[in-house]
């Protein structure tokens, strides 16, 4: 059972990574450079009804997983 759970987690992460890349290709997620303080990549998400700026990659991927965006610089 643990193997199936682990496999499902890997597949889910792969789907998020793939969706993230697709959204970059479509111009929905735009790379904005690195945060001067942390050196982490920052992105803008351009949605139909709003634009989210200064989001770390992990925050964008969390949004893709949950459907809700929340700034959380502790995500890694």
31: β partners: 43
pLDDT at 1: 60
- Domain ranges in the chain are 2-66
For residue 6, what are its two tokens?
A: 């682990």
Task: State the alpha helices, DSSP H only, in the chain.
Answer: 2-26, 57-66
Per-residue pLDDT of the chain (76 residues; tens, 9 = 90+): 666 555 555 655 668 999 999 999 999 999 999 999 999 999 999 999 999 999 999 999 999 999 999 999 888 7
pLDDT at 12: 56
Burial of 60 (0-12, 13-18, 19+ CB in 10 A): buried
Angle subtended at Cα 25 by Cα 24 and Cα 26, rounded to the nearest 5 degrees = 90
Is this model's pTM higher than 0.85 or not? no
């Amino acid at each position: 059972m643990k193997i199936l759970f682990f496999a499902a987690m890997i597949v889910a992460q792969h789907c998020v990574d793939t969706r993230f890349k697709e959204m970059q290709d479509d111009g929905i997620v735009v790379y904005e450079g690195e945060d001067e303080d942390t050196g982490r990549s920052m992105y803008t998400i351009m949605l139909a009804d709003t634009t989210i700026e200064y989001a770390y990659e992990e925050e964008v991927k969390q949004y893709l997983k949950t459907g809700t965006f929340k700034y959380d610089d502790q995500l890694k």
